A and B are shown apart, each in its own frame.
Chain A
Amino acid sequence: MARLVAALLLVALALPASAGTVTPDRADELRYIVRQDCGSCHGLRMTGGLGRAITPAALAGRDPDDLSTIILDGMPGTAMPGWRPLLSEDEARWIADYLLTQEP
């Protein structure tokens, strides 16, 4: 039993801090949103379009909190809209982590 708890703890620790607040089903939806909706400007493969490239390589070294803020509030003076009406803060942070680590 103690072993199982330890294993579960390890799994929990390995996930991004915010992962606990995004369900696996919602994570699937977010992955789809990134690909399709972010993709309308940033490209299906995040390699850029009207918006800049947002692949892990292009975002290397960026702070996930900053990225979450940009996702939620947009970038004034550019075409990047704020997604606050459609995403929670946890979801924006999940997307930031996802963009930094995953090849969509």
Chain B
Amino acid sequence: MLKPLALALLTLTAPMLTAPAALADDLRGTGDLGLIVEREAGSLLVVDRSERAAIGRIEGLGDLSHASLVYSPDERFAYVFGRDGGLTKVDILTRTIVKRVVQGGNSIGGAISDDGKLVAVSNYEPGGVKVFDAETLDLVADVPMGSKTVGIADVPGSRFVVATWDTGEVWVLDHAADPAKPVITKLTGIGANPYDALLTGDGRTYIVGLFGEKGLTAVDLWQDPPKATRFLPDYGKDQPDLPVYKMPHLQGWTLADGVFALPAVGLHQLLWVDAANLSEIARTDLAGQPVFAVARPDKREIWVNFAPPGNDKVQIIDVMTHQVTDTITPGKGVLHMEFAPRGREVWLSVRDENRVEIRDARSHEVLAEIPARAPSGIFFTDRAHQTGL
């Protein structure tokens, strides 16, 4: 009698003892995950960097042309900004849509506040910024700006910064005191037609690229009020403008020794700028109109992709010599590049060939490929912890 009882007890307790282990097998971290935008299909591919594989797909996100996204501080949720004005919160662990609101007619990007509580969406139509509760996606603040808005970024202290295409202004929205009533600081005369902007990783310098005139504008957000300075006011003035078949994008980083490398507009060049005094250091001739100029995380190389017709290529430039060291041809329609956080490998979306290519960031060799439907933006979860992304 004792024996069967003991057995029964064993049977009863055994699952309880093994339960935590089984649970741990089901659990997983998100630090090596990412999302890839499938622009035509309106879906997101969930990828595992360590496995170099897709592990799922989230569908039903609407028009994702020019879509971008930001991550929640816990790297579990992503907020996706779609062309059709849709703001979608997705759960990358359960691969489901948590909530979706159509908040505008035409949106271009967004940002998440440094405390993870507010999500701001930059709209073309109606022109301005709308700010939402990150938990519920309820509208918190609506800030019309009378212009298409570009280059929105999060500034430390529950703030957002954005530039206006039509009116050439920079607006800083401070939500620290009352999220629903941001204190607005407006800088005018930034320059004609800002097309994009970047915020440096320290949250200090907001660089605005101009399409309507030569040059760029840097805004020092450490000054009160923020101070705007024009630089490179006449780069390329002596050369005829080349057609821009796709607008460049600016990214938020500074190279070693305080140097910026920025894509020129209407010139097939990369511009090297001294961050301390905003003077030009050098230029590098490129194979086409640069779109993204992305630093490898160790900041020793810049990787550049191009507008049509050169959008099958990527050029790699040495930061020390400013020379192109390699030109690779991943395939038709290289739209985006994303480095693993420590820079070991780089993922490239090759839109027209429906695949994502993974290359060794040092040897440039192809390591793996993942099928994806017309992929565009690639976003790894480490962005959750980077100011300006």
- Interface residues of chain A, those whose CB is within 8 Å of chain B, are 36-37, 39-41, 43-45, 47-50, 74, 79, 81-83, 85-86
Given the known inter-chain contacts A43-B65, A49-B106, please indicate yes or no for A37 contacting B124, CB distance below 8 A: no
Question: In angstroms, how far is the closest chain A Cβ from the Cβ of B291?
Answer: 9
Which residue from chain A places its CB closest to the CB of B265 in the assembled complex? Answer: A79
Please, which residue of chain B has its CB at the minimum distance from the CB of A32?
B352
CA distance A36 to B308 in the complex (A): 10
CA distance A82 to B106 in the complex (A): 25
Check A50 against B247 for contact (C-beta < 8 Å): yes
Is B244 an interface residue, CB under 8 A from the partner?
yes
Distance (Å) between the CB of A74 and the closest chain B CB? 7
CB distance from A82 to the nearest CB of B (A): 6
Closest A residue to B83 by CB, please name it.
A43
Whose C-beta in chain A lies nearest to the C-beta of B308? Answer: A37
Contact partner of B108 among A45, A49, A79, CB < 8 A?
Answer: A49
7 contacts between A and B (CB under 8 A): A44-B64, A47-B83, A48-B124, A49-B65, A49-B83, A79-B244, A86-B309
**Shortest CB distance B267–A (Å):** 14
B152-176 contact mask (Cβ, 8 Å, vs A): 1 or 0:
0000000000000100000000000
Given known contacts A47-B106, A49-B83, A40 and B246 CB-to-CB distance under 8 angstroms? yes
Instruction: Name the A residues within 8 Å of B108 (CB-CB).
Output: 49-50
- B40 in complex: contacting residue of A43, A44, A49, A81, CB < 8 Å: A44
Q: Top 10 A-B pairs ranked by shortest CB distance?
A: A44-B65, A81-B243, A40-B246, A37-B308, A43-B83, A81-B244, A43-B65, A82-B243, A39-B65, A81-B245
SS class, residues of chain A in contact with chain B: loop
Q: Is the interface of B mostly helix, strand, loop or mixed?
A: loop
For the complex formed, measure the closest distance between the CB of B74 and the CB atoms of chain A, giving whole angstroms.
Answer: 31
Q: Of the candidates B63, B65, B106, B195, which one forms a contact with A79 in the assembled complex, judged by CB atoms under 8 Å apart?
A: B195
If A44-B64, A50-B195 are given as contacts, then 11 extra A-B residue pairs at C-beta distance below 8 Å, sorted by A number, are A36-B352, A37-B245, A37-B308, A43-B66, A44-B65, A45-B83, A47-B63, A74-B243, A79-B195, A81-B245, A86-B308
CA distance A36 to B24 in the complex (A): 44
CA distance A83 to B62 in the complex (A): 29
Say if the beta carbon of B39 comes within 8 Å of chain A. Answer: yes
CA distance A36 to B349 in the complex (A): 14
Chain A residues within an 8 Å CB radius of B247: 40-41, 50, 79
List residues of chain B with CB under 8 Å of any chain A CB.
39-40, 63-66, 83-84, 106, 108, 124-125, 148, 165, 193, 195, 211, 243-247, 308-309, 333, 351-352
Q: How far is A84 from B84 in the complex, measured between Cα atoms in Å?
A: 30
A41 to B193, alpha carbons, bound, how many Å?
A: 14
Check if B148 sits within 8 Å of A50, measured CB to CB. Answer: yes
- The CA-CA distance from A82 to B65 in the complex, in Å, is 22
How close is A42's CB to chain B, nearest CB, in angstroms? 9
One of A40, A50, A83 near B165 (C-beta < 8 A):
A50
Given the known inter-chain contacts A50-B148, A81-B244, please indicate yes or no for A40 contacting B124, CB distance below 8 A.
no
Chain B, Cβ-Cβ closest to A77: B212
Q: Assuming A37-B308, A79-B247, is B193 touching A48 (CB within 8 A)? A: no
Q: What distance in Å separates the Cβ of A49 from its nearest Cβ neighbour in chain B? A: 6
Is B39 in contact with A44, judged by CB distance below 8 angstroms?
yes
Give min CB distance, B100 to chain A, whole Å. 18
**Chain B neighbourhood of A50, CB < 8 A:** 108, 124, 148, 165, 195, 247
What separation, in Å, do the CA atoms of A47 and B86 have in the docked complex? Answer: 14
| Contact in complex: A44, B63 (CB < 8 Å) | yes
- Which B residues touch A48, using CB under 8 A? 106, 124-125
**Interface residue from A45, A83, A85 paired with B63 (Cβ < 8 Å):** A45
Smallest beta-carbon distance A65→chain B, Å: 21
User: Considering only CB atoms, which chain A residue lies closest to B64 in the complex?
Assistant: A44
How distant is A34 from chain B, measured CB to nearest CB, in Å? Answer: 12
The reply to whether A36 and B106 form a contact with Cβ atoms under 8 Å apart is: no
Q: Roughly how many angstroms separate A49 CA and B66 CA in the complex, as a whole number? A: 9
Instruction: Contacts A44-B40, A44-B65 given; indicate if A85 touches B243 (C-beta within 8 A).
Output: yes
Give Cα distance in the complex from A37 to B165, angstroms: 21
- Bound-state Cα–Cα, A52 to B135, Å: 33
Shortest CB distance A7–B (Å):
37
Complex: A53 Cα to B165 Cα, angstroms: 17
